[in-house]
Amino acid sequence: MADSPYIKEVNTENFAEVVTQGSMQQPVLVDFWADWCAPCRSLMPVLSKLAEEYNGKFILAKVNSDENQQLAQQFGVRSLPTVKLFKNGAPVDEFMGALPESQVREFLERHIERESDRMIQAAEAASAAGDTDQALALLQQANAIDPGRPAVITALARLLTEKGELEQAEQLLKSLPIADRDSPEVSAMLAELEFARAGGEDSLAELEARLADNPDDIDTRYQLALKLLAEKRYEPAMQHLLTIMQKDRTFQDDAARKTLLKAFDMLGDDPLVTEYRRKMFNLLY
């Protein structure tokens, strides 16, 4: 381990070369430690193991703080161990204390590019260029080499949704752990899928034409609202739902109000939520 090309002893003389300049090429994880620090001794083998496992995707730089007090002071180290991650010549993140391996790994994953990241970027470029088949192939490959990774799953589900494969997209999203399913992005995607399925097979143009012929057709207005929500046209969708509430609060067991609430949850802190929540309360009270 001492001879590892991925682990380096760093001091004031070589800090600029190893850390400042080195982090222009790949992330450098700087471990500020001391001999007397028991948590430092428990953390060090965890960091060394991960440096070997990641096989050069980051460099572990070990700084003895007692012997390099100037460096510790320069970077504001006040407790040991302190671990700072450098990218592009500057510290971008840090943690303190002897974290367990799982949490250190989670810390690293926020900053270290994986092969699946490059595939997601390539898939997004292919999709933007109109080559959805190539984009799908790239994302399926990314899922094969990095199975179950939330970033890959959500990108794949998004593309499948765009292709109209709603059931498959929903199954992928529901395969994620509960914590990931509850994230704002995934929750919003699941809501959009629910709206898309409930909106039926009629196109927007067909629904709009039918509603123009019969403005009192509440069922068509509701289907149109769901279709608009699925296509992220939120304001007209919410206006239709308010209209339904005005015309018939009993429609499908108060479906318009319940759908509005789902839309509010999906949109989070969007200014439209404040505006239409106020309008909804004015109708109710």
What are the residue numbers of the active site?
37, 40
Cβ neighbours of residue 153 closer than 8 Å, sequence gap 6 or more: 143, 172, 173, 175, 176
Q: Which of 32, 36, 41, 38 is nearest to 75 (CA)?
A: 32
Contact between 32 and 97 under an 8 Å Cβ cutoff? The reply is: no
Contact between 122 and 137 under an 8 Å Cβ cutoff? The reply is: no
From CA 127, how far away is CA 142, in angstroms rounded? 15
End-to-end Cα separation, the chain, in angstroms: 70
Two tokens, residue 151 = 């970033």
Two tokens, residue 5 = 């090309």
* β-bridge mates for residue 189, sequence order: none
Q: State residue 68 phi and psi, 5-degree precision.
A: -135, 60
**Can you give the C-alpha Rg of the chain in angstroms?**
26
From CA 266, how far away is CA 121, in angstroms rounded? 25
From CA 43, how far away is CA 29, in angstroms rounded? 13
Looking from the CA of 81 toward its CB, the CA atoms found within 13 Å total 30
